[in-house]
Each structure stands twice: as C-alpha cells, then as structure tokens.
Structure 1
Amino acid sequence: MEQKKNLKELYSQDFIKLQSENDIEIINLDSVTSFSELRNKMGQITCEGKVSGLRFELKDTIYNITGFSDCPSSRVIGCYFRRNLLYVRNDSLLIENGKSKKRKPIAFLKTELNEIMSKTYNFQHNEDKLKPALIHFYVEDKYPIETTKRALKEIARQFKEINSQNDSDYFKYKILFEGFDITNIPPPPPPPEPNEFDNGKK
C-alpha cells in the first residue's frame, strides 16, 4: 500500500499563538458541506469567546488559517476602521464598489496586494507596516466547499509570501466570513441640497 507523502503545513500569523493559549477551536473543512454551515459553526465559536481555526488539505499542503464570523446572539458590531479592505466572493476578488465594481480571479490577489503596498497612505502612521487587511469573504451555497478552500489557500499563500519577505507583522490580515455579499449593498443617498429655508434662521 502506497504511503501518503509528507505534507507541508502553512500557518496564518496568529494560529500557533492562539492554539498555545487555548483561544482557538479547530474546524476541519472536510467536515462541512457548505459555506453557510461553516459560517454558523464559526459564529457559535465566536459566541464562546474563541477564534475559529480552519484546517484543510489541498495538494501537498495542510493549511491552518484563522477566521471570524459574528456571533448571532450578540448585538456587538465590530469596528473595522483604519483597515485595508478586500472583498472576496466565491472564487473571485471584487475590485471597487457600485457601478465600477470589477470581478477578478482570486489569483489576481497578488496584484491587488502589490497595489496596496505601493501607496504610502495604506501604511500605519510613522511605521513601516501596513494597516491590517480585513477580507470580507462570502461564498454562495451553490458552490462546493472546495471553492472556499481554494480562495482561503490563495489568501494564506499570498500573505505568507509578503510577510516572509518582510517582518512577520508587516501585513496582518483577518478574514471575516459574511452571510451575504456586502458589495451589493447600495451606498447611502447623498444629503439633500441646502435651500433658502435651511440657513439656520428662525
């Protein structure tokens, strides 16, 4: 019987630290069949005050990645200001919003990250580190769990490559598992034009 070849392991930045502190609960992606089932499990882990550790195998590598999903019973809303925002839907990277929104293959992530790194305003003030990336991630349930794996693999690989060439905290990232594609939310309407009755006079 042929033995399984040795597999490499790839860890996201905070996976091992959270594991040593017992602040992580592992989900094997082969144990779920859809993105919504995965997100529900992650939400329950968040309710318990822990982080989801996502473990899966693709080709010659075992991936160990942390992810987040909002606790369904909590009314607390996360604060995500001062971040480099990225949007992944299914196996695509979404660039810009509204009418100018473009869809690129997930492999385009490397180009997009290089674009972010080329602009000084994407860095933390007076530091040679980028503002952390927040990746809004949503997969429609019509896609198999393999689609989720492939997108997570690309995210993990690209950030690993950047941080291995720089300081390990050079470009931190978090993946937020969403229940819908937030890029489809229309922007708020512009404020009404002031008129002669809105000049503050009584």
Structure 2
Amino acid sequence: MEGKKNLNELYSQDFKEIQVDNTFGIVDLDSVMNFSELIDKMAALTCEGKVSGLKFELDETRYYITGFSDCPNLGETACYFRRNHLTIRNDSLILEYGKNKKPIRYLKTELSNIMENPNNFKYNENKVNPALIHFFVEDTYPISTTKTVLKEIAEQFSAINTTHNSDFFPYKILFVGYDISRIPPPPPPPPPLPNEIDK
C-alpha cells in the first residue's frame, strides 16, 4: 500500500497569525462547486465577524490563503485608500479599467511594474503600499480556476516577500460577487468656471 504523499505547504502572510484568533473560519475549496458557493460561505463567516481561511491542494502543494468578503447584511463600506488595486476576472488580470486583459501569469510583471513606481510605496518606508486584489470568477468556470489563480497570487507575493522581507508587499484578496472591471471609471472633472474677475 502506497503511503500518503508529503505535500509542500504555502501560507499567505497573515494566515498563521489570524489562525490562532477565534475569529477565523476555514473554507476548504475542495468542498465547493463554484465561485458563488465560495462567496456565500465567506460572506456567512464575515457576517459572524470572522475572517475566511481558504485551503486547497494543487500541484503537490497545500495552500493556506486568507480571503475577505463583504457581509451583505451589514451594508457597510470599507475604506481602501492608499492601496495598489488589482482586478482579476476569471483567470485574467484586468488592466486600465477593463480595456486590457492579460493572463494570470502576467501578475509577476504587473507586480514588478508597481514596485518600480516610487509613488506606490509607503511614505519614508521601503515597503510597498498593500495590494488589494478584487477577485471575481463567473460560475461557468470550475472551482479549479479559482485554485489556479489563488496559487499564482500566493506564489508571486511569497517570492517578493521572501526576497525582501516578510511585510515588504502585503496583500489582501477581496472576493466579490460581481465584475468590478465592468464598472465605468469616474467621469473627468467639469471644466473650471470662468473667473468673475476675467469678465
């Protein structure tokens, strides 16, 4: 009889830290059928005041990733200023307000682009402003798509934070039930009114 294979393990930055807290709930991605079911389970945990810990196995690695979702019953709006915003729809990185789409493997390049811009760093610190990843998957895609994307996110940020230091480029994944990339950007500001003195 063949013994159970030993799997590598990869944890997101704050998984172990939050895991010891009583406000932590585990969702096994192998137990859900699609992204909508995952969102429902995460939203239920959020409504209980809990953070979602996601676990799954893929390519001989067991992943443990912290995820966030809004509670539909609370009607609260979170503040996400001073973040490097990223949008992922299905298995693609969405850029330029939905005008450009790249495969998820492009994430490594996009993170490098963010780190090359000094405006994306914390003031007077050698740390990048946290990334907020808006993540949505249509239910026509299998749960394996969600796993593949989460694997790429975890591995790319792990590589960056291993090279620098553990909190050099923190990130949060916000699981959303709608495609944020289809929301149009805000309109440009109106032209300035003529100055009364110039009349």
The answer on 1:75 being equivalent to 2:75 is yes
Contact residue 87 and residue 95 of structure 2 kept, 8 A: yes
SS at match of 1:76: coil
Give the Å deviation of 1:50. Answer: 1.0
Aligned pair in 2 of structure 1 residues 23, 104: CA closer, same or farther (>3 Å)? same
What residue number does 2:17 align with?
Answer: 17
The answer on 1:38 being equivalent to 2:38 is yes
What residue number does 1:164 align with?
Answer: 162
What residue number does 2:186 align with?
Answer: 188
Aligned pair in 2 of structure 1 residues 192, 27: CA closer, same or farther (>3 Å)? same
SS at match of 1:87: strand
Q: Distance in 2 between matches of 1:75 and 1:141?
A: 24
Aligned pair in 2 of structure 1 residues 120, 26: CA closer, same or farther (>3 Å)? same
Give the Å deviation of 1:191. Answer: 4.5
Matched residue type, 2:52: S
Q: Distance in 1 between matches of 2:4 and 2:141?
A: 28
Give the Å deviation of 1:195. Answer: 6.2
Q: Calculate percent identity across the aligned residue pairs.
A: 62
Contact residue 97 and residue 185 of structure 2 kept, 8 A: no
Q: Which stretch of the first structure deviates more once superposed, 182-191 or 156-165? A: 182-191
Q: Distance in 1 between matches of 2:154 and 2:53?
A: 13
Q: Distance in 1 between matches of 2:86 and 2:63?
A: 21
Aligned equivalent of 1:151, options 138, 144, 149: 149
Give the Å deviation of 1:189. Answer: 3.3
Contact residue 25 and residue 50 of structure 2 kept, 8 A: yes
Q: Distance in 2 between matches of 1:13 and 1:75?
A: 28
What residue number does 2:131 align with?
Answer: 133
CA deviation string 1:151-197 (max 9, x = no partner):
0000000000100111101000000001111111112334544667x
Contact residue 97 and residue 184 of structure 2 kept, 8 A: no
Aligned pairs, number: 197
Q: Which stretch of the first structure deviates more once superposed, 59-68 or 2-11? A: 2-11
CA deviation string 1:96-139 (max 9, x = no partner):
115xx211110110011111111111100000000000000000
Give unpaired runs (5+ residues) of structure 1.
none
